Amino acid sequence: MGTAVGDESRASGSRPTIRDVAAAAGVSKSLVSLAFKEPQRVSDKRRQLILRTARKLGYQPNFLARSLATDGSPFVGILVVNLHNPIFAEIADAVRVELDARGEYGLITSATVADDEDPEQPYGRIDSRVIAMLQDLRPKALIVVGTVLEHEGLFDGIPTVYASSEPSRDSECTSVRMDDTQGAELVIDHLRGLGHERIAFVGGQGGAVARTREKAYRRAMESRGLRPIVRPAGYFESDGYAAAEELLALPSPPTAIVSINDISAIGVLAAADDAGVAVPDELAVVGVDNISLSALKRISLTSVDPQNQTIGRLSARAVFDMLADPEEPAKQHLITPQLVIRRSTVRDDTTGRP
């Protein structure tokens, strides 16, 4: 039986091995291994020769065998917490692009199992089997995209960066996310400039980021002499719809609603439509995340753009910094957002476009 772990040899008729590639390319076996494991350390000329030879022979490195047989794993793990929000796919894609530019690659997975019937875990629970798999595969590092409500201690021993998330202060993990204080100020100043004073906030439930955004809204309102109006809600469309229903039924309903994210804000738009409230003439609506759906003509949602591409790129770079210096202290990178104005707050009667 005698096949060694890591493609060291092959019997007649089996698939090509690393030895075959080395012999055909006229280089050492260790150089071929390095070209696949750490391509940035191999000259472009030799790397291209090895890759051409491997393609010609039909050689593919055994990913799992390499992970189990060596101390250094060949990949960076990318754990996408919430598959329902397009923002996280955009961030994960930017991470992979940056990793690829540095000669590395990322393995994307999700560890959250949705459970709509459990009111205590509306955003899903962590599947411990996926976490165990990541631990067994020993990634070089891990980038967690999104909020993990029960993340504490899950990734011990793996250098971890949180993207678009806020780990606890004592987690000793680096994070890259939007500056929510600046985002809230952009929104409130925009709405005040349009004459709005009764500006409500829908959100605050669902982890540290949710709480931070509510606090940022309250500070932005109070610092401008306005009274905060908050309806607790989560990140889903149904959350935004239910909260907006309550707000619009008030004796003096708000003239503007700021939602914790775009998905929730789309629920606010639906509630306004069902209540016969015209947007933006009677109600202005603002979201956060600037997902692609928000730019659709039928939605046209004004939204805070957290600069997802930047978050993804900087998260990958933070991983490289950690690998280069394991003793580097954890850092919090706050990205300056932008406000994208569309027809949910401003009607353009001339062009029909925001």
What's the mean pLDDT when you consider all of the chain?
A: 85
Query: Which pLDDT does position 33 carry in this prediction?
Result: 81
Angle at Cα 49 formed by Cα 44 and Cα 54, nearest 5°?
125
Q: Is the dihedral of CA 343, 346, 351, 354 positive or negative?
A: negative
Give CA–CA dist 329/349, Å, rounded: 53
In a domain, 167, yes or no: yes
Q: Give residue-wise pLDDT tens across range 41-98.
A: 889 899 899 989 988 988 877 665 555 555 556 789 998 887 778 899 999 999 999 9
Query: Which pLDDT does position 139 carry in this prediction?
Result: 86
Query: Which pLDDT does position 9 carry in this prediction?
Result: 43
How many CB atoms lie under 10 A from the CB of residue 228? 14
3-state secondary structure (DSSP) of residue 44 = helix
Query: Which pLDDT does position 295 carry in this prediction?
Result: 95
Beta-bridge partners for 108: 78
Inter-residue contact 176 to 335 (CB < 8 Å)? yes
Same domain, 269 and 296: yes
Same domain, 23 and 49: yes
pTM of model > 0.85: no
Same domain, 83 and 162: yes
In the numeric block, which tokens belong to residue 165?
């998330």
Domain of residue 189: give its range: 180-306
Query: Percent of the chain scored above 90 by pLDDT?
Result: 52
Q: Are strands 174-178 and 332-335 parallel, antiparallel or unpaired?
A: parallel
User: Which CATH number characterizes residue 198's domain?
Assistant: 3.40.50.2300
In the numeric block, which tokens belong to residue 121?
């875990």
Residue 50 belongs to what H/E stretch? Answer: helix 44-57
Same domain, 193 and 154: no
User: Which CATH number characterizes residue 59's domain?
Assistant: 1.10.260.40
Same domain, 201 and 247: yes
Same domain, 274 and 126: no
In a domain, 88, yes or no: yes
Same domain, 224 and 296: yes
The alpha carbon of 2 is separated from its chain's Cα centroid by a whole number of angstroms, namely: 44
In a domain, 352, yes or no: no
- Residue ending a domain, choose from 69, 88, 108: 69
Give CA–CA dist 315/161, Å, rounded: 6
Same domain, 294 and 184: yes
Query: Which pLDDT does position 67 carry in this prediction?
Result: 54
Inter-residue contact 92 to 78 (CB < 8 Å)? yes
Give CA–CA dist 282/250, Å, rounded: 14
- State the Rg of the chain over Cα: 25
Residue 259 belongs to what H/E stretch? Answer: strand 256-259
* pLDDT beneath 50: ranges in the chain: 1-12, 119-120, 349-354
- Residue 151 is which amino acid? H
- Residue ending a domain, choose from 268, 290, 306: 306
Give CA–CA dist 242/218, Å, rounded: 21
From the list 338, 334, 264, 341, the residue with the least C-alpha distance to 307 is 338
Give CA–CA dist 319/308, Å, rounded: 17
- Residue ending a domain, choose from 54, 69, 84: 69
Number of structural domains (the chain) is: 3
In a domain, 347, yes or no: no
In the numeric block, which tokens belong to residue 46?
């030799």
Same domain, 284 and 329: no
Same domain, 156 and 197: no
Burial of 231 (0-12, 13-18, 19+ CB in 10 A): buried
**Residue whose token pair is 């030879």:** 53
In a domain, 1, yes or no: no
**Residue whose token pair is 């595969």:** 137
